[in-house]
Amino acid sequence: MHIHHIALWTAQLEELKNFYIRYFNGISNEKYVNSLKGFESYLISFKSGGAQIEIMRRKDITTHQHTVPSIGLAHFSFSTGSKETVLKLTEQLRKDGFTIASEPRITGDGFFESAILDPDGNIVEITI
C-alpha cells in the first residue's frame, strides 16, 4: 500500500494550484467541476511519482478551521534531493512573499529542512 493523495480544501483554487505547480513542479489535471454540488477540484501530481495533492473548493466551505498545533494533519513534506535545493527554494519563496515557518536547519532527528506556509497557511516542509 501507499498514500495515493492528500486533499486540501481551499477558497483559492487557482492560486493554490499555481503555487504547487510553480514551486514544487506539480502537474495538474483538467479542473473537475460538479455544478450540482458546487464542487471543483484539481489533482496535482509530481514527476517523481508518489502521493498527489487534491485541491478542492466547495461553495459552502469558506472558513479555516485549523490552528497550529492541533490534532490532525500537521504538515506534509517535499523531498528536493539536495541541501542546495532546499536553500534555493526557501529563499525563492521568501523573496516571493511567502511566510517561512522554519528556517533551513538540521533537525534533532537529522533531517535538513525548512518549512513554509502555502497560500492557505498549510505547513509544507522542504527537505533533502
Summarised one tens digit per residue, pLDDT across range 21-43 is 999 999 999 999 999 999 999 99
Strands across the sheet containing 123-127: 76-79, 123-127, 112-117, 100-106
Q: Tell me, what CATH number does 18's domain have?
A: 3.10.180.10
Cα 96 to Cα 90: distance, rounded to the nearest angstrom: 10
pTM of the model: 0.94
Among 119, 118, 92, smallest CA distance to 104 is for: 92
Cα 55 to Cα 7: distance, rounded to the nearest angstrom: 6
Q: What's the pLDDT at 23?
A: 98
User: Would you say residue 49 lies in a domain?
Assistant: yes
The structural domain count of the chain equals 2
Give residue 80's domain range: 74-128
